[in-house]
Amino acid sequence: MEELENNDRAEIFSKAVRAGKRTYFFDVKSTRGNDFYLTVTESKKRFLEDGKFRYEKHKIFLYKEDFEKFIEGLNETIAKINELKSQFSSNESEENVGAAEGAAFTNVDFDDLGNQ
């Protein structure tokens, strides 16, 4: 723990999660008071016009007193996304069926348009 006292943001644990074009880093760090917090960093590789690249990073800090509310909010949001996704899928299927049924009954003769 002496090392933690000498470094106000000592890294305790790190987990990298690769997800498509992004990498997420979950880093547990320690404060001077030996309290822990989490940083979540999203890293994306961006190509520049000259062909070189750089990493674009976005970081949030999450403190232990906020863990529970953060997890609740994240879980609720993911559940809502899944609910909306299933509703969208079933609505889309119904629209496709309706469009196919409508197409079967629609008879359009474009030659008739010029005779009006």
Query: Of 1.10.357.10, 3.10.450.700, 3.40.50.2020, 1.10.1660.10, which CATH number belongs to 2-105?
Result: 3.10.450.700
Residue spans of the domains in the chain: they are 2-105
pLDDT tens, residue order, the chain (116 aa): 444 444 446 789 999 999 998 999 999 999 888 899 999 999 998 889 998 989 999 999 999 999 999 999 999 999 999 999 998 887 777 666 655 555 554 554 545 545 54
pTM assigned to the model? 0.62
User: Within 13 Å of residue 43, how many CA atoms lie on the same side as its CB?
Assistant: 13
Look at the block and give the residue holding tokens 């890294």.
Answer: 11
Distances (CA, A) of 34 to 15, 28, 29, 93: 20, 12, 9, 54
